[in-house]
Amino acid sequence: MLTRPRIIVLLIILGFYRSTWFGDYIYPVCDWEEPGCEIVCNRTSTYHTLDEKTICFSKAIKSYEDIEFFIKLDDDSFVDKEYVLDLMRTYKGSKHPVYISDHTRRRDKENKKNLHLVLYGNGKFYMFNQNLFNCLDTEFKYNGTRNEDFVFGGMVNSGCGERNVMFIQEDDDFIWHKHYTNKNKDIDLGFIRNH
């Protein structure tokens, strides 16, 4: 008997994904109330308020205590199902906070104490476990508008401490951003209309 994986896929926009294997696991993070939305954040819906949306969804999913893994996936990204299942098998039951992504650092002289050179994941895909979520600082404060993924990295660093987190490098052979090419398929993911 197949059991449903304990995973939540957090999508900023859902259009394309309703017909994929993620369908049963999607908890859409929407800009406004609409059918199928689980979490509503960012009612102003601009690129400059995505950092607020990240804090909002992080607070909203606190109630999902029985979920072991979470995925944040951009609406113009696609990830291989078997790759996700392999990651789940590998890190299932980890005692440490796990943060899987394409990690990088960024300078922020305006926020030297809490964001400057913090390690954060590329927003096209990041996956993290409940242990990371449990120590995430959802009251994280910073100056100015910032990239939402950078802010998530700040929330991780502030709450969990960088030295306590397992930062796992994603394998980009299984993640497609903006463009999907595999076998005889060639899709511009950025062109799919979803609003």
- What tens-digit pLDDT sequence spans the chain (195 residues)? 444 445 555 544 434 444 444 555 666 677 777 777 777 776 666 777 778 888 888 888 877 888 888 888 777 777 888 888 899 999 999 999 999 999 999 999 999 999 999 999 987 888 999 999 999 999 999 999 888 899 999 999 999 999 999 999 999 888 877 656 666 666 665 555 544
Indicate the pTM of the whole model. 0.80
DSSP collapsed to 3 states, 81-142: HHHHHHHHHHHCCCCCCEEEECEEECCCHHHCCCCCCCEEECCCEEEEEHHHHHHCCCCCCC
Domains and CATH numbers, the chain: 7-188 (3.90.550.50)
Rounded to the nearest 10°, the torsion over CA 102, 108, 114, 120 is: 0
The set of residues, in sequence order, having a beta carbon less than 8 Å from that of 180 and lying 6+ positions away, is: 78, 186, 187, 189
Tokens coding 169: 């490098």
